[in-house]
Amino acid sequence: MKTTQYVAREPDVSGFIHYPADEHERWNTLITRQLKVIEGRACQEYLDGIEQLGLPHERIPQLGDINRVLQAATGWSVARVPALIPFQTFFELLASKQFPVATFIRTAEELDYLQEPDIFHEVFGHCPLLTNPWFAEFTHTYGKLGLAASKEERVYLARLYWLTIEFGLIDTPQGRRIYGGGILSSPKETVYSLSSAPEHLAFDPVEAMRTPYRIDILQPLYFVLPELKRLFQLSHEDIMGMVQRARQLGLHSPKFPPKAA
């Protein structure tokens, strides 16, 4: 596993996590800026989730506050984790309806983008849609499948996750919108993803599994759902059969240059 400069903050005996004032200020900067950027760009289900969560602007939220909302909405909760966790732990958590949240916030130097998922990415990017039963069901199914999958199969599942839950778009009567948490927590990618610069393809799970990606660049390609309910439908289809099909067909050529050595 990669190393990270970030260290997750530990709760006190009552379960409360104390953050210094400058970290609360950083949260405030991130959330107030991003709420403006996602206007007219985020899907309605995500906006409904933001409203339900009622995230504070002036301070980093406590996980217990988020859990009360998620438990009531879909039976999910968030689980405190260190900065980076193994695939196995990730799948175990999702399979038990727990979403991992690293309890650190990015530094001022990495305000616009960092490769590790911090509390802003996890809470602002992903937690709002965990209030939605369709999205929650797909995420739960994904965790259970990942837990039972082989190491090779998990690589294909990871691509599906990346191109849906992290970087997915959706067509709505109001126009194309964002539901992927990786986009919604990034000011640059929020604007870029809906522009004419990247390629947009109708969602196809097998094709998504065959599509290589890099985590450190703006995505060259996004898959577009016809509606959010498509994820719920997918969770009741033979996803592992699709993994086998994707493995037989092989990977597409990357749409990005190789990483510099």
Tell me, yes or no, whether 261 lies in a domain.
no
Could you say which DSSP state residue 11 is in?
Answer: P
Cβ count near 219 (within 10 Å): 24
Residue 54 lies in a domain: yes
Rounded to two decimals, what is the model's pTM? 0.95
Q: What's at 25, amino acid-wise?
A: E
Q: Answer whether residue 16 is part of any domain.
A: no
| Residues found in the chain | 261
126 annotated among ligand-binding-site residues: yes
Token code pair at residue 210 = 């065959």
What phi-psi label fits residue 7: left (phi over 0), alpha (psi between -120 and 50 degrees) or beta? beta
Q: Please tell me whether 252 is known to bind a ligand.
A: no
Q: Is the residue at 256 inside a domain?
A: no
Dihedral (CA of 47, 50, 54, 57) sign: negative
Based on the structure, what is the number of domains in the chain?
1
Domain extent, residue 130, equals 21-249
Q: What do you get for the CA distance between the two ends of the chain, in Å? A: 19
CATH number of the domain enclosing 214: 1.10.800.10
Note whether residue 255 is domain-resident.
Answer: no
CA distance 88 to 172: 35
Contact 211, 248 (CB under 8 A): no
The C-alpha atoms of residue 141 and residue 234 are separated, in whole angstroms, by: 9
Instruction: Give domain status of residue 77, yes or no.
Output: yes
Contact in structure between 38 and 49 (CB atoms under 8 Å)? no
166 is in an annotated binding site: yes
103 falls within a domain: yes
pLDDT tens for the 261 residues of the chain, in order = 456 789 899 999 999 999 999 999 999 999 999 999 999 999 999 999 999 999 999 999 999 999 999 999 999 999 999 878 999 999 999 999 999 999 999 999 999 888 889 999 999 999 999 999 999 999 999 999 999 999 999 999 999 999 999 999 999 999 999 999 999 999 999 999 999 999 999 999 999 999 999 999 999 999 999 999 999 999 999 999 999 999 999 999 999 988 876
